[in-house]
Amino acid sequence: MADMATKRIRTAVFPVAGLGTRFLPATKSTPKELLPVLDTPLIQFAIDEARAAGIDRMVFVSHPDKGSIEDYVRHDPELCAHLRAAGKHDFADKLDTLSLDEGDRAHFVMQTERLGLGHAVLQARPYVQEEAFAVILPDDLILGEKGCIGEMIEAHARCGGHLVATMEVDADRISKYGVLVPRGGQGERLTHATGMVEKPKASEAPSNLGVVGRYVLDSAIFDQLAVQQSGHGNEIQLTDAIAATTGAVGLAGYRFSGIRFDCGSQEGMLQATLHVANMRGLMAERRTPALALVG
Ligand code: G1P
């Protein structure tokens, strides 16, 4: 574990194969990860967060029906040349900066059967190899001064093992989350744990610490995922594999500093949009009646 802790985290896994049913009909032909908060698709926020943390190998676990994610992520030299020829250098520069090229080592692997988050992460194994890695769920948007995965990687260098992002969740919503089983008291940011439970009933929740979509995982998770039985919702759960390997590698929750938006829900997407609009000063002048209503 100490050895793992001294190595830098180079790889992030982005599970993006999900159906996005809560945003139908929009997600009938547009993957939910490409839905924008104003002008920026959710997947772009996730990529930017990984890059800011020094990650340069990105593994997207996608689905054959969601080819437009790869189209979005990859550099498009023809479009950029077209924009430059039209004198639109600002847009071309922006796309050049945002897109992933070969230097970033972006890999796409298909999860043809949607068997759960744990199954999705297992598909990334050939690209991760035997080292600790990050997992970022793009529909959990976390905004703040420090990128969430970056601050977790800093903490992981000290504690090793599995590290999961946590936040306090009210009892009436706790059954929507993986929940940490704390060991002893909570530190300022770190809470050491003996395991995790996926979406427990409120009455059976081991704590109020819900896990959100950022993980730094020891590679021991892969051997476990390969044999992990289906759990909650009849899916192969990442939570169960984390719990099963906690004894061997250790587990802690990390209370991150940013604000998290559940962009898998319409309410969360709306809140994220208002937050970003506010940050960009778009709401200051209450320019339109609609903005005045929400401002
Ligand atoms: C997944 C995880 C769950 C976690 C949640 C955070 O659930 O399985 O442990 O709390 O993400 O967003 P999902 O919301 O994909 O059902």
Q: Please report whether residue 122 resides in a domain.
A: yes
Neighbours of 243 (CB within 10 A): 22
Q: Please report whether residue 180 resides in a domain.
A: yes
Q: Please report whether residue 61 resides in a domain.
A: yes
Is the distance from the beta carbon of residue 240 to the nearest atom of ligand 1 less than 6 Å? no
Please tell me which of 7-11, 86-90, 268-272 the model is most confident about, judged by mean pLDDT.
268-272
Residue nearest atom 6 of ligand 1, based on CA coordinates? 212
Sign of CA dihedral 220, 223, 226, 228: negative
Q: If you average pLDDT over every residue of the chain, what do you get?
A: 91
Q: Please report whether residue 109 resides in a domain.
A: yes
Q: Please report whether residue 220 resides in a domain.
A: yes
Q: Please report whether residue 275 resides in a domain.
A: no
Rounded Cα gap, residues 48 and 287, in angstroms = 30
- Three-state DSSP class for residue 204: helix
C-alpha of residue 76 to centroid of ligand 1, in Å? 32
Q: Please report whether residue 286 resides in a domain.
A: no
Neighbours of 36 (CB within 10 A): 14
Which domain covers residue 102, as residue numbers?
2-264
Sign of CA dihedral 157, 159, 160, 165: negative
Is the distance from the beta carbon of residue 212 to the nearest atom of ligand 1 less than 6 Å? yes
Note the maximum CA span of the chain. Answer: 62
| Under 8 Å between Cβ of 137 and 214 | yes
Tokens of 165: 């992002």
Tell me how many domains the chain contains.
Answer: 1
Tokens of 281: 């000063």
* pLDDT score recorded for residue 180: 97
Q: What is the pLDDT of residues 50-99, one digit of tens each?
A: 999 999 899 999 999 999 999 999 888 888 988 899 898 888 888 887 87
C-alpha of residue 212 to centroid of ligand 1, in Å? 6
C-alpha of residue 205 to centroid of ligand 1, in Å? 15
* pLDDT score recorded for residue 2: 41
Q: Which atom of ligand 1 is nearest to the CA of 232?
A: 8
* pLDDT score recorded for residue 93: 85
In this structure, what CATH number is given to the domain that contains residue 203? 3.90.550.10
* pLDDT score recorded for residue 289: 56
Is the distance from the beta carbon of residue 179 to the nearest atom of ligand 1 less than 6 Å? no
Is the distance from the beta carbon of residue 177 to the nearest atom of ligand 1 less than 6 Å? yes
* pLDDT score recorded for residue 1: 43
Q: What is the pLDDT of residues 148-203, one digit of tens each?
A: 999 999 999 999 999 999 999 999 999 999 999 999 877 789 999 999 999 999 99
Q: Please report whether residue 181 resides in a domain.
A: yes
C-alpha of residue 120 to centroid of ligand 1, in Å? 13
Is the distance from the beta carbon of residue 198 to the nearest atom of ligand 1 less than 6 Å? yes
